[in-house]
């Protein structure tokens, strides 16, 4: 497996520090406002990486911080009068619930800045002792001149960085580009005791201290959105390696930007879309598939029309999987031996095995999800064609079914098997209206209704057949007639 490393600017073979164990740190939310579709794009990208590693047999220790000390949080609390802890806790809990709906696997730990102030103070103190940091009247700052490798991640040299710095902001600093490790404050909403007086940590030191505490070694993978490369991740490298004298992370992975109608999301532009709003419009599967149809490092523009086509794509995937399962059930339900009804098809096996191998090969190549999904669709088309021949290679269909289920788990697409319990009364009422005896469950009632419709069609009583189909549609159950052994299938609307 190879991975594009933002630090070296090239694809590199992935090699974990420990055998079959990966430590991954992903920069988490600053919970001052609702999670949005840009957050979801980034976290779906890292969820794909995590899922694939898990499927390959790795254990993944996933750390995702919560930046609950930040200027934006302070500003929001001043504007609203909210308590910082209550505000950030509620927003982060809401975000995790939404990520759960999107089928993003939870992190192993979500450390909060407010719970790790002593760890942050210890790290700042180490940097001061090692002469990588200094104190002024306004705070404690990292001396970038003490770290010769500064700029290696972003590709900027010190003069470029200095030129982009706001020199007039703090004249107490040695260099305009030196960044804050600890900000001195007085009577602020969020502030803590420290050896340098009351204050709060700088943004970058928070991640360094928390990743050190939980990883306890060099990270295998550090992830985040592309806009974090500079200054956040650049500064993380500098302060972490200056404090420890060891490599901070082996692979830096960054997700591309998400825009809306070609523009960066902004409330002032009126194009800010929360994840909750997106999930009201689109299913979780469609939204995930939309994100994954673009390579994780590529820019992506939010497109409602494309999302509608994703809904259709998801339906095609699960309908095809259902047909493959039905072919398996028909074989097993025949009562014949294991070889009955099996027609080995060498060409079908070769082509389908090729599509399965291609899916994994594309993910092995820097998680090229668009090409992997294309291979999945090719496999489904091939399987559908094979099912239409009437001569089924059941052994290969079983292999394909298992492979597709693995692929969908890696992609995080979940088959929605909503129960019939909520429709039980309506189904039973329809059964009684048609003069049939009561059923013991909604599933049995639906099976009887479908049988009654099939009998009506066989007797050319199309009026009765259409009535049953129409009434079921009103209840929210769609009837689909499949040619051949597929028979009649149903799904919830």
**How confident is the model at residue 341, as a pLDDT?**
56
Q: Which residues contact 318 (CB under 8 A, 6 or more apart)?
A: 415
Quick check: 321 and 401 in contact, CB under 8 A?
A: yes
Of the CA atoms within 13 Å of residue 99, those in its CB half-sphere come to 25
Which DSSP category does 105 fall into? P
**How confident is the model at residue 254, as a pLDDT?**
98
Of all residues in the chain, what percent carry a pLDDT higher than 90?
Answer: 79
Select from 225, 289, 248 the least CA-distant residue to 48: 289
Query: Residue 436 corresponds to which tokens in the numbers above?
Result: 């049939």
**How confident is the model at residue 164, as a pLDDT?**
66
**How confident is the model at residue 340, as a pLDDT?**
40
Query: Residue 312 corresponds to which tokens in the numbers above?
Result: 């259709």
Quick check: 293 and 372 in contact, CB under 8 A?
A: no
Query: Any bridge partners for residue 22, and if so which?
Result: 60
- For residue 418, what are the CA distances in angstroms to 285, 408, 428? 14, 18, 18
**How confident is the model at residue 488, as a pLDDT?**
77
DSSP string across 443-462: HHHHHHHHHHHHHHHHTT-H
Cis peptide, bond prior to residue 231, ω within 30 of zero = yes
**How confident is the model at residue 335, as a pLDDT?**
41
**How confident is the model at residue 417, as a pLDDT?**
62
Query: Residue 380 corresponds to which tokens in the numbers above?
Result: 């489904």
pLDDT string in tens for the chain (493-residue length): 999 999 999 999 999 999 999 999 999 999 999 999 999 999 999 999 999 999 999 999 999 999 999 999 999 999 999 999 999 999 999 999 999 999 999 999 999 999 999 999 999 999 999 999 999 999 999 999 999 999 999 998 877 777 666 545 677 899 999 999 999 999 999 999 999 999 999 999 999 999 999 999 999 999 999 999 999 999 999 999 999 999 999 999 999 999 998 998 888 888 899 999 999 999 999 999 999 999 999 999 999 999 999 999 999 999 999 999 988 877 765 443 334 456 899 999 999 999 999 999 999 999 999 999 999 999 999 999 999 988 999 999 999 999 999 999 999 999 876 567 778 889 999 999 998 888 888 888 888 999 999 899 999 999 999 999 999 999 888 888 865 545 677 777 6
Long-range contacts of 344-348 (CB under 8 A, 24+ apart): 344/393, 344/395, 344/396, 345/386, 345/391, 345/393, 345/396, 348/382, 348/386, 348/393, 348/396
Length of the chain, please? 493
Write out pLDDT tens, residues 301-350.
999 999 999 999 999 999 999 999 988 877 765 443 334 456 899 999 99
Q: Kindly compute the dihedral angle of the four CA atoms of residues 106, 107, 112, 118, in this order, to the nearest 10 degrees.
A: 160
Alpha-carbon span 256 to 28, nearest angstrom: 16
**How confident is the model at residue 483, as a pLDDT?**
57
């Amino acid at each position: 497996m190879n991975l594009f490393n933002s630090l070296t600017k090239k694809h590199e073979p992935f090699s974990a520090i420990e055998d079959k164990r990966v430590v991954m740190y992903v920069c988490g939310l600053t919970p001052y406002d609702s999670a949005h579709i840009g957050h979801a794009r980034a976290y779906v990208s890292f969820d794909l990486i995590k899922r694939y590693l898990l499927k390959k047999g790795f254990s993944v220790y996933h750390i995702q911080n919560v930046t609950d000390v930040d200027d934006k949080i302070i500003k929001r609390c001043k504007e609203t009068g909210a308590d910082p802890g209550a505000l950030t806790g509620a927003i982060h809990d809401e975000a995790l619930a939404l990520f759960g709906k999107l089928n993003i696997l939870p992190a192993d730990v979500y450390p909060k800045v407010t719970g790790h102030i002593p760890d942050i103070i210890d790290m700042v103190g180490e940097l001061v002792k090692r002469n990588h940091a200094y104190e002024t009247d306004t705070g404690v700052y990292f001396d970038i001149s003490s770290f010769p490798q500064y700029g290696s991640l972003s590709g900027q040299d010190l003069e470029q960085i200095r030129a982009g710095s706001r020199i007039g902001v703090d004249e107490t600093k040695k260099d305009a580009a030196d960044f804050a490790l600890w900000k001195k404050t007085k009577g602020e909403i969020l502030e803590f005791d420290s050896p340098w007086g009351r204050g709060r940590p700088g943004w970058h030191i928070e991640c360094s201290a928390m990743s050190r505490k939980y990883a306890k070694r060099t990270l295998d993978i550090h992830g985040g959105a592309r806009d974090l490369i500079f200054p956040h991740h650049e500064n993380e490298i500098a302060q972490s390696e200056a404090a420890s004298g060891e490599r901070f992370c082996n692979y830096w992975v960054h997700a591309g930007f998400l825009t809306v109608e070609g523009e960066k999301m902004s409330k002032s532009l009126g194009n800010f879309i929360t994840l909750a709003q997106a999930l009201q419009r689109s299913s979780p599967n469609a939204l995930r598939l939309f994100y994954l149809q673009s390579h994780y490092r590529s820019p992506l523009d939010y497109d409602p029309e494309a999302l509608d086509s994703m809904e259709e794509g998801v339906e095609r995937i699960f309908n095809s999987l259902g047909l493959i399962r039905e072919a398996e059930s028909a074989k097993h339900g025949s009562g014949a031996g294991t070889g009955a009804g099996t027609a080995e098809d060498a060409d079908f096996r070769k082509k389908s095995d090729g599509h399965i191998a291609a899916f994994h090969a594309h993910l092995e190549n820097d998680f090229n999800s668009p090409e992997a999904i294309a291979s999945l669709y090719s496999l489904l088309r091939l399987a559908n064609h094979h099912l239409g021949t009437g001569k089924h290679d059941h052994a290969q269909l079983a292999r394909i079914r298992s492979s597709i289920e693995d692929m969908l788990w890696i992609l995080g697409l979940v088959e929605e098997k909503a129960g019939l319990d909520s429709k039980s009364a309506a189904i039973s009422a329809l059964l009684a209206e048609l003069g049939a005896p009561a059923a013991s469950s909604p599933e049995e009632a639906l099976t009887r209704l479908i049988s009654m419709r099939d009998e009506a069609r066989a007797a050319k009583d199309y009026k009765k057949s259409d009535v049953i189909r129409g009434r079921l549609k009103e209840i929210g159950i769609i009837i689909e007639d499949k040619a051949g052994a597929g028979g009649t299938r149903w799904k919830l609307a």
